[in-house]
Amino acid sequence: MTHLGAPGSRDWRKSMNVLVLNCGSSSVKFRLIATDLDLIAQNADRRLAKGTIERIGGEAIIRLQVEGRNPQRTTSSLRDINAAVDFIARWAASSESGIEEIKSIADIQAVGHRVVHGGERFKQSVLITDEVVRAVEDCIDLAPLHNPANLTGISATRKLFGEGLPQVAVFDTAFHQTLPDHAFLYALPYQLYRRYRLRRYGFHGISHRYVAYRYRVMRNIAREATNIITFHLGNGCSATAISAGNSIDTSMGLTPLEGLVMGTRSGDLDPAIIEFIAAKEGLSTREIETLMNKHSGLLGISGLTSDMRELLAEESEENDRRAKLAIDIFCYRARKYIGAYPAAMNGADAVVFTGGIGENSPEVRARICDGLQWIGIELHEELNRSHTDGREGLISKEGSRPAVYVIPTDEELLIARDTVRCVLKERQHS
């Protein structure tokens, strides 16, 4: 593998070009963002480019977009994550991409990785060292599909850029490390927690933390005054109770399977169902886990699709009964969290919707909030309808308490900002 040298000799006080990587088992999502402490303070970070590479291992499908230009789609034979990271870096530095700030690979000055599971060890983002890599390896048991892919991304980056390039790990679990023990422990024999750290970890932490930050910026309030319920509703879905700026409860558990109904995941169910299905269908526990993760949720109920937009169309255009049922169950289960979480946090000032469904579907938001007048929620029909396609703002009537907001998430931005902060902190200390 070619070694492309240490980062260029730029003045580190200037903005930093950060490559944000989200590596899966056969896909890589990336974003290039130029940012620094001043740009963060002004919310003026510059998004340079983004893209996805899917079906790595064969003829990969590559989508690339430089900010302000049309997206491109191409294919290339990429055998592994190393080849995909190499492709991204070379494309970014090429005259073909034409990104003004990146003339050579050395102009990428730091890499921020989304890492799914940081266990109990990581409560915030960290500069990646050999010790951090080992600790992420120690969490593989907790996220056997995700952490190995994230680690491959880290080693691919190291091979390509060399040891000199700072890399930062930003964990999906870290924000939820403030959960008190009465919220994170399951009512199982305590030694299972002691032996295996079996507990609720929660996920989507980067997203929940980002929208909580945007909320307090929008409201011009302190972190300590942030008392909200956040809903990340995408393919995966989760709710978080945020009290005094900290996550104090969240719907996903040891794994992302627990909690809300999702695209293909069942969310909460009676654990005795596993044994019941095993006996009736002759399936192994592993097969049942696959059934609950990949064939349940919106897809399982409707028998049609996991895609909320398609289900809404089936319901309204075809009057499909099971599409309606899937959406009803999805909304009902989310609504119950708006009832439950204020009890966990002594009342909430706002409910915030984010994620593909939360940001784009007035219909789903209205159905979740329906029948919550008793708690004080009153959606503003027109504001709700007009908040789609990345529009941020209030969607409830004046006086609604909790108020209701739509806040588009930007996990990559938060990763880039954490990366810059970690790198600068390290530089101050060295």
- Which stretches of 45-181 are assigned E, i.e. beta strand? 46-54, 59-66, 72-77, 110-115, 126-127, 167-171
d(CA 141, CA 157): 23
Centre a 10 Å sphere on the Cβ of residue 2 and count the other Cβ atoms it contains.
Answer: 9
d(CA 333, CA 354): 16
Q: With binding defined as CB under 6 A, does residue 235 bind ligand ADP?
A: yes
Q: Which one of the listed residues 172, 249, 320, 418 is annotated catalytic?
A: 172
Within positions 325 to 384, which residues make up the interface with ligand ADP, using CB under 6 A? 355-357, 360-361
With CB under 6 A as the contact rule, the residue among 236, 245, 300, 408 that binds ligand ADP is 236
State which residue, 15 or 354, has the beta carbon closest to ligand ADP: 354
Return the range that interacts with ligand ADP (CB under 6 A); candidates 147-155, 228-236, 322-330, 374-382: 228-236
- By CB under 6 A, how many residues form the interface with ligand ADP? 13
The CB-of-187 to ligand ADP minimum distance in angstroms stands at: 30
With CB under 6 A as the contact rule, the residue among 234, 267, 300, 402 that binds ligand ADP is 234
Element (H, E) at 341: helix 321-344
| 3-state secondary structure at position 54 | strand
Q: With binding defined as CB under 6 A, does residue 205 bind ligand ADP?
A: no
Measured at the CA of 383, the angle between CA 252 and CA 323, to 5 degrees, comes to 50
Compose the 299-318 pattern: x for residues touching ligand ADP by CB under 6 A, - for all others: --------xxx--x------
In angstroms, what CA-CA distances link 205 with 241, 245, 415?
12, 13, 11
Return the range that interacts with ligand ADP (CB under 6 A); candidates 45-53, 118-126, 231-239, 369-377: 231-239
State which residue, 200 or 204, has the beta carbon closest to ligand ADP: 204
Q: Within 13 Å, how many C-alpha atoms sit on residue 280's CB side?
A: 7
Centre a 10 Å sphere on the Cβ of residue 342 and count the other Cβ atoms it contains.
Answer: 19
To the query of whether residue 268 is one of the catalytic residues in this protein, the response is no
State which residue, 216 or 265, has the beta carbon closest to ligand ADP: 265
The CB-of-232 to ligand ADP minimum distance in angstroms stands at: 8
Q: With binding defined as CB under 6 A, does residue 72 bind ligand ADP?
A: no
Centre a 10 Å sphere on the Cβ of residue 276 and count the other Cβ atoms it contains.
Answer: 11
Q: With binding defined as CB under 6 A, does residue 147 bind ligand ADP?
A: no
d(CA 314, CA 312): 5
d(CA 201, CA 114): 16
State which residue, 56 or 262, has the beta carbon closest to ligand ADP: 262
State which residue, 25 or 77, has the beta carbon closest to ligand ADP: 25
With CB under 6 A as the contact rule, the residue among 263, 267, 342, 408 that binds ligand ADP is 263
State which residue, 7 or 408, has the beta carbon closest to ligand ADP: 408
* Residue number with the smallest Cβ distance to ligand ADP: 356
Q: With binding defined as CB under 6 A, does residue 406 bind ligand ADP?
A: no
Q: Within 13 Å, how many C-alpha atoms sit on residue 364's CB side?
A: 32
Place of tokens 């403030």: 178
d(CA 400, CA 365): 15
Q: With binding defined as CB under 6 A, does residue 166 bind ligand ADP?
A: no
Strands 246-250 and 228-233: unpaired
State which residue, 304 or 375, has the beta carbon closest to ligand ADP: 304
Q: By the 8 A CB rule, do 376 and 396 touch?
A: no
**Nearest by Cα to 114 from 14, 24, 248:** 24
Return the range that interacts with ligand ADP (CB under 6 A); candidates 143-151, 230-238, 317-325, 413-421: 230-238
The CB-of-172 to ligand ADP minimum distance in angstroms stands at: 12
Kindly give, in sequence order, each residue whose CB lies less than 8 Å from that of residue 24, ignoring residues fewer than 6 positions away: 146, 149
- Contact footprint for ligand ADP (CB under 6 A): 234-236, 263, 307-309, 312, 355-357, 360-361
Residues marked active site are found at: 172
